[in-house]
Amino acid sequence: MLDTAYATMRYVAPAYYVFSAQMMTLIARALGKDEDAARYEELFARIREAYIAEYVHEDGTMDANFQGIYVITLQMGLVPDEVRPFMVRHLCDMIAANGDRLDTGFLSVLFLMDVLCDNGARDVAYRLLYQTGCPSWLYEVEMGGTTIWESWGAVDENGGVSTYSYNHYAFGCVADWMYRTIGGLQMTEPGYRHFRVAPDVEGCGLAHAATSLESPYGRIEVAWELGTATGDSAQPLHLRVIVPANTQAEVWVPGGSTVTVGSGTHDFFGML
């Protein structure tokens, strides 16, 4: 683990420097500090240019052949647009070569699933989610885990227990992605005053899912269930959304359209 940290620090440090500059740009704009926003935006551009020149090759590869470095680079926008598809393909190839298993640590795993989904590799994300070999989330479940571990292999395949934390959130960040993607619950305004509901009912491979969240305005609930497909392969869907008072939800409905609804319980039916 220490060797990996030393091997990747020259990539991780400037990448997170860029991330900090991006966040400071957004914060400064939100506070109306336009000069500060411009300064941080310029800083971001300068670091990005230097990072690409130093580390990113035209074929989308990098000298640090670690999944996490590719994930961070893609997430932070540290790759030219014309090179991005090649880098995504290389990341997917690395995952496939690792037996459809992830190989990411604390600083990159939180971006992994979104990077794959946002770059046309949603199928790879779901292969990782449902993987049961180590390292994976479901490996922990298969080994009796009821909490998230500090290390992917904290319990080995023979049941041997290591001296790691067994209640360690970092790798649990996948839950946020599951809420937003499978559950479909996505915040569009602070505090969920306005939110979007768009579950990935066709891509996730599940027959039903339900999520809930205690927002500042009250409890939000989303539940969906697929019925049995008919002879022409159409499949019925029931989507229920509970919207708390003083909020609005933009809801994807079967057929691909969206509707905006206010507080209350809303049921939507359709065919996929």
For residue range 85-99, list pLDDT tens digits in order. 999 999 999 999 999
Q: In whole numbers, what is the pLDDT of the chain averaged over residues? A: 95
Given this model, what pLDDT does residue 232 score? Answer: 65
Summarised one tens digit per residue, pLDDT across range 111-147 is 999 999 999 999 999 999 999 999 999 999 999 999 9
- Position 10 pLDDT exceeds 80: yes
Summarised one tens digit per residue, pLDDT across range 152-204 is 999 999 999 999 999 998 999 999 999 999 999 999 999 999 999 999 999 99
The tokens for 227 are 């019925």
Partners of 185 in the β-ladder: 197
- Answering whether pTM is above 0.95, one says no
> ∠ at Cα 145 (148, 109), nearest 5°?
30
E strand intervals along the chain: 185-187, 194-197, 208-215, 218-226, 236-243, 248-252, 258-261, 264-271
Given this model, what pLDDT does residue 256 score? Answer: 78
The tokens for 25 are 């740009």
For residues 91 and 70, what is the distance between their CA atoms, to the nearest angstrom?
A: 6
Summarised one tens digit per residue, pLDDT across range 192-239 is 999 999 999 999 999 999 999 999 999 999 999 998 877 666 789 999
Taken as a whole, the chain contains a residue count of: 272
- Residue 76: left if φ>0, alpha if ψ -120 to 50, beta else—which one? alpha
Given this model, what pLDDT does residue 5 score? Answer: 77
Q: Which residue has the higher pLDDT, 253 or 212?
A: 212
Given this model, what pLDDT does residue 2 score? Answer: 54
All domains of the chain in start order, with CATH: 2-131 (1.50.10.10), 182-271 (2.60.420.10)
Contact 211, 222 (CB under 8 A): yes
